[in-house]
Structure 1
Amino acid sequence: MKHTWRWFGPIDKVTVRDAAQAGAEGIVSALHHIATGAVWPVDEIEKRHRDIKAGGLYWDVVESVPVSEDIKTQTGDWKAHIVNWQETLRRLSRSGIRTVCYNFMPILDWTRTDLRWETRHGAKAMRFDLTDFVAFDIHILKRPDANYDYPEWLIEASAKRFAELSGDRIAALGKNIGAGLPGSADGYTLEQLLEKLRTYQGIDRERLQSNLVDFLSQVVPVAEEVGINICAHADDPPWPLLGLPRILSTEADYAHMLSKVDSRANGVTLCTGSLGARPDNDLPQIARRFADRIHFVHLRNVTRDTEAVPCSFFEDEHLEGATDMVAVIATLLEEEKRRRLEGREDHRIAMRPDHGQEILDDLTRGAQPGYPAIGRLKGLAELRGIERALLHPHYGRV
């Protein structure tokens, strides 16, 4: 696989040179400062390429070209935003980009209640605490009809939890849950979040699935034309939140999306962390089923508090947690071998160590939550070790 590293641009406290020293071969980046729905300017694309080359690496994957809420709801300027998305693909292709990741999560592109939760050995990790989240939804956000979305025992537990929360913790929950997309300037106040939620009234799971298929039906032909593979990231976490539907949370969800727009250019960002938060997702099986359409991989592991859906979980070390990482990597290496025999140009699948725990000097660096230097270096080294062992001519299985 091609070992890549997410870099948020010049604002990132972890540099491209840091990534190169950690063992990365390529960079995953995006123009987070460009407004969602707008065309990415050619000069800004070229500048990002120059900034990355100056650090000694190349820009291999775009994560992400954001899909606007107008597109997801098919309201407002959604048609113009799709035209702009198409043009951005053309411009990225001319610059040499061949892989573009995106997601179709309503409003909140990812959600955690804790951005720096302390683990058993003092490292800091991202965490989703279900009781805290429900306390936020019912008692802090005060979303209308929120009580109808949860079982009685969880409503009672969240009320007890809310009564114990300090003012600082209440403020932190609002900030953490409304943080928006990593690296962007997006984020919502409670009032703004409630207003955003109202824009999804009448949009159920089936309607959102239909809107995704409409979007793909218009952008995939352009991706085919310009030689780009686009790949959808899973919902994070993979279940409904705040009364909003989720449509890329399971193997069946991906099968539906891929069958409706059946093109190799329409593919999967396999995120073992997002999908792994559900006990009913078999990650090695998902990797095997969609191997031909996996264009980008996030390798991350989570430990679930329970085997229920939804549940609380935290982002564990890369080789800990619920996902059999060795089996997943073995499946991906087998797919790379098959692609090489086919003569496919995309036979190397880009992967990155997704997130990482803050350890050692990470604890004082103040990098983007979930994206420390040393924690990701450790994860990449472990994942690379698995790959090397599986490919060894005498001991490997691939």
Structure 2
Amino acid sequence: MRESWRWFGPNDPVTIDEIRQTGATDVVSALHTVPTGEVWSIEAIHQHQALIEECEQGLAPLKWSVVESIPVHEDIKLARPGHEKYIENWILSMENLAKCGIKTICYNFMPVIDWTRTDLNFKLPSGAYALRFDQKKFAAFDLFILKRENAQTEYSTEELNEAKRVFDEMSEQEKTKLTNNIIAGLPGRMTDSYGIDDFRAMLANYKDVSSDVLRSHLFAFLSKVLPRAEAMGVKLAIHPDDPPRDMLGLPRIICTADDLELLFAALPSESNGITLCVGTYSSRPDNDLPAMAKQFGPRIHFSHLRGVSRDPGEQRSFYEASHLDSDIDMVQVVKELLNEETRRSKESANSLGIFIRPDHGHQMMGDIGKTVNPGYSGIGRMKGLAEVRGVIRALSALK
């Protein structure tokens, strides 16, 4: 497997030299300063590549191998008049990346918001801090802070009462923090930051957009992109919706194995693949991750190897657990990925390993108290990478 590490650019608290020390060989990055919808120029790509790949003699080289992500403009998701120019710009960015040798692209089709958490500093029994999604807090935000129109129809009486209790017990400071965590924007996310009124307006754009409609817009987008991707040898790897279910009245369409079956039945191109984000998919108890790794093995171009622990009494709530200590059989997932690599190597001697990276590590030890990108502190991710690396080495030795 190709061990990679996400880097958010020169302002990332984790430096390129520190990434090199983790033992990772590949870097996952993006041009975060380019506004959504604009073309990533070859010059800008080369400049970013140089930051990653140029190093003094004697140091282990790093390679920018995976893009995460080229953002998809909201006009594409809504199929607004004139959105075709944004599709063409997305394609041009993809082609420019391919010309620079970067041919694995992770992207998502989540409307309005990227990955969503209610707590960015959830304290664990170990004293480390994790990301958490609390369904009760989220309902309190939806119903009594955002005050989304007709939101109450989506909750049971018991859920409404519980959300009101949670809301009433929050201080004004806690309400502000919860709001910021959900809508103000996270470092590295691929959508803009919003104020509460802007956020309501963005949600309103999807009032009449069903899952079927949004899925048709994804398929229309990919029908334009995939032929050009094939021509350039690019592998696209769609990331699941996070959390993988409808929320805030927004449709979600990449949540389950059935969703992926629909995607590949409609668009069977070999360039049409997935990012197997183990933690995201596993935040739904009905997703069997080892089975999905086996079923969609040929479509997996990239994988985020992390796990979550769901609350026993409320399966929609979870915190991001240690990479090997979660609700997921990570060892079996890794085994299935290694089996897929073996299958590919038999088909082609030039097959690349599957790009993997640790994801959303705990803030721990010397990183506690430091300014970090939520979920992307250095020590916690290095711990996760070391754990996964050990599993890979052990399983590989048994082959």
TM-score tier, shorter chain, comes to over 0.9
CA distance in 1, matches of 2:207, 2:347: 47
CA contact (8 A) 1:284 1:327 kept: yes
The superposition leaves residues 290-314 of structure 1 with CA deviations (integer Å, 9 ceiling, x where unpaired) of: 00010000001100003755x1100
Amino acid at match of 1:97: I
CA distance in 1, matches of 2:283, 2:180: 22
CA distance in 2, matches of 1:316, 1:162: 26
Q: Tell me, yes or no, if structure 1 residue 99 matches structure 2 residue 119.
A: no
| Correspondence for 1:222 among 228, 240, 244 | 228
CA distance in 1, matches of 2:28, 2:213: 31
Amino acid at match of 2:301: H
The correspondence of residues 175-214 of structure 1 with structure 2, limited to 5 A, is 175-180=180-185, 182-184=187-189, 186-214=192-220
Amino acid at match of 1:70: D
Three-state SS of the structure 1 residue aligned to 2:242 is coil
| Correspondence for 1:87 among 92, 97, 119 | 92
Q: Tell me, yes or no, if structure 1 residue 330 matches structure 2 residue 317.
A: no
| Correspondence for 1:370 among 369, 375, 382 | 375
Q: Tell me, yes or no, if structure 1 residue 49 matches structure 2 residue 59.
A: no
Three-state SS of the structure 2 residue aligned to 1:319 is coil
- Which residue in 1 is equivalent to 2:258? 252
The superposition leaves residues 92-132 of structure 1 with CA deviations (integer Å, 9 ceiling, x where unpaired) of: 00000010000011111110001111111110110000000
CA-CA distance at 1:13 after TM superposition: 0.4
- Which residue in 2 is equivalent to 1:138? 143
CA contact (8 A) 1:279 1:308 kept: no
The superposition leaves residues 120-163 of structure 1 with CA deviations (integer Å, 9 ceiling, x where unpaired) of: 11101100000000000010011110101111111110000000
CA-CA distance at 1:183 after TM superposition: 1.6
Three-state SS of the structure 2 residue aligned to 1:132 is helix
Change (3 A) 1:103 1:345: farther
Q: Tell me, yes or no, if structure 1 residue 295 matches structure 2 residue 295.
A: no
CA-CA distance at 1:344 after TM superposition: 6.0
CA distance in 2, matches of 1:211, 1:237: 20
CA contact (8 A) 1:27 1:59 kept: yes
Instruction: In structure 2, list runs of 5 or more residues that go unmatched.
Output: 56-60
| Correspondence for 2:66 among 61, 65, 78 | 61
> What is the number of residues matched between the two proteins?
393
The correspondence of residues 29-44 of structure 1 with structure 2, limited to 5 A, is 29-44=29-44
Aligned-residue Cα RMSD (Å) equals: 1.2
CA distance in 2, matches of 1:366, 1:344: 44
- Structure 1 stretches of at least 4 aligned residues deviating more than 4 Å after TM superposition: none
CA-CA distance at 1:276 after TM superposition: 0.6
Instruction: In structure 1, list runs of 5 or more residues that go unmatched.
Output: none
The superposition leaves residues 212-235 of structure 1 with CA deviations (integer Å, 9 ceiling, x where unpaired) of: 111111101111001110010011
The correspondence of residues 208-357 of structure 1 with structure 2, limited to 5 A, is 208-306=214-312, 311-343=316-348, 345-357=350-362
CA distance in 2, matches of 1:106, 1:229: 22
Identical pairs, percent: 45
CA distance in 2, matches of 1:391, 1:132: 43
The correspondence of residues 94-133 of structure 1 with structure 2, limited to 5 A, is 94-133=99-138
CA-CA distance at 1:43 after TM superposition: 1.5
CA contact (8 A) 1:300 1:353 kept: yes
CA distance in 2, matches of 1:131, 1:378: 31
* TM-score between both structures, scaled by the size of structure 2: 0.96
- Which residue in 2 is equivalent to 1:3? 3
CA distance in 1, matches of 2:82, 2:288: 38
CA distance in 2, matches of 1:191, 1:62: 32
Amino acid at match of 1:244: L
Amino acid at match of 2:364: I
The superposition leaves residues 258-301 of structure 1 with CA deviations (integer Å, 9 ceiling, x where unpaired) of: 11100110001000000010000000000101000100000011
Change (3 A) 1:16 1:212: same
Three-state SS of the structure 2 residue aligned to 1:254 is helix
CA contact (8 A) 1:110 1:180 kept: no
The superposition leaves residues 53-103 of structure 1 with CA deviations (integer Å, 9 ceiling, x where unpaired) of: 135411010000011111011014411000001111110000000100000
Three-state SS of the structure 1 residue aligned to 2:368 is helix
Amino acid at match of 2:262: H
CA distance in 2, matches of 1:308, 1:104: 27
